[in-house]
C-alpha cells in the first residue's frame, strides 16, 4: 500500500461505481469514497469466520482521506484495499486505498487514508477492550 506500506493487508473489496455517484463535474463525489470504504470494511468483518459479536459495536473516531486522482467512469469498478495500521487495547486504525485499472491493466490510485475505530460497550458507549478472538484474527 503506497500510503501505508507498513500496514498488514487484510481484505480487497471490489465495488461498482454507478452514474448517480458522480458529481456535477463528472467525478466520483468525495462523500461516496467513504461509503465504498465502509462497505469494504463491513464486507471484511462479515467474511471473518466465527467473530465475537461484541467486536462489532464500534464508533468511528477518525476518518482521513487524501484524494489523488479523480474517478470518472459513469459505470466502473473500483477496488478498496483494506489493511491494519495499528491495533490498540480498545481502538484500531485501518488503512485503505481506492484503486482502479485502466484498459492496459495499469493501476490508478484514486485515494488513500485511514479509518480509526473504537470498540465500545453497547450500554455505556465507553471504550472496552477487543476480544481475544479479534486480536487473533488481526495477528
Q: pLDDT digits over 126-139, tens only?
A: 999 999 999 999 98
SS3 136: helix
Question: Is there a domain that residue 77 lies in?
Answer: yes
Helix intervals (H) in 21-115: 30-47
Residue 3 lies in a domain: no
pTM beyond 0.85: yes
- Which CATH number does the domain housing residue 43 bear? 3.10.129.10
φ/ψ of residue 123, rounded to 5? -90, -45
1: in domain:
no
Residues in the chain: 139
Number of domains within the chain: 1
Give the domain range for residue 63: 8-138
- The model's pLDDT over 10-58, given as tens digits with 9 standing for 90+, comes to 899 999 999 999 999 999 999 999 999 999 999 999 999 999 999 999 9
- Asked if residue 13 belongs to a domain, the reply is yes
Amino acid at each position: 500500500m503506497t500510503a501505508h506500506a507498513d500496514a498488514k493487508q487484510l481484505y480487497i473489496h471490489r465495488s461498482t461505481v454507478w452514474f448517480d455517484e458522480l458529481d456535477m463535474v463528472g467525478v466520483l463525489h468525495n462523500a461516496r469514497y467513504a461509503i465504498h470504504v465502509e462497505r469494504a470494511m463491513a464486507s471484511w468483518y462479515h467474511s471473518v469466520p466465527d467473530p465475537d459479536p461484541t467486536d462489532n459495536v464500534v464508533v468511528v473516531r477518525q476518518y482521513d482521506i487524501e484524494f489523488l486522482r479523480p474517478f470518472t467512469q459513469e459505470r466502473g469498478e473500483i477496488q478498496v484495499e483494506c489493511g491494519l495500521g495499528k491495533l490498540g487495547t480498545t481502538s484500531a486504525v485501518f488503512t485503505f486505498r481506492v484503486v482502479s485499472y485502466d484498459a492496459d491493466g495499469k493501476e490508478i490510485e484514486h485515494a488513500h487514508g485511514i479509518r480509526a475505530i473504537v470498540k465500545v460497550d453497547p450500554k455505556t458507549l465507553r471504550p472496552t477492550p477487543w476480544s481475544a478472538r479479534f486480536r487473533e484474527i488481526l495477528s
